[in-house]
Amino acid sequence: MEQSKRNVNPIFFAKIFLFSYVLTAVFLLLLAMLLYKFRLSETVTNIGIILIYILACFFSGFLTGKKMGSRKFLWGMLVGIGYFAILALLSIAVQKGTIQLSGSFLSTLFLCAGSGMLGGMLS
């Protein structure tokens, strides 16, 4: 039974990524409403976006760790990296193929990977 629990299923990962982006969309809508209602500063908005990335990756890593059973931290980290990779590809598509490899780009990668890993470890 343990062996079937560790089976890598692409459908499961598609569902996890769909879950993480639906969660992201819900949190971004909530942040937009708060921004409109309270006229939040740019700094507060940027912090909110970072927290949304962290929460989405954490919960996705948590669910993945529950499903995979072993090496939960690794699976959670991979889900966080996958979330970031999809986010980066969408950003490249929107910006018509240009992307800046700045400190915020790399820190977002580390935040996504780390929060996914933490979610997997705590599952």
Model pLDDT for residues 71-84, shown as the tens digit of each residue: 999 999 999 999 99
79: containing domain: 2-122
What is the total count of domains within the chain? 1
Q: Is the pLDDT of residue 16 over 90?
A: yes
DSSP 78-123: HHHHHHHHHHHHHHHHHTTT-----HHHHHHHHHHHHHHHHHHHH-
Section 18-44 average pLDDT: 95
**pTM for the full model?**
0.88
Residue 1 has a pLDDT of 43
Section 80-102 average pLDDT: 85
Report the mean per-residue pLDDT for the chain: 90
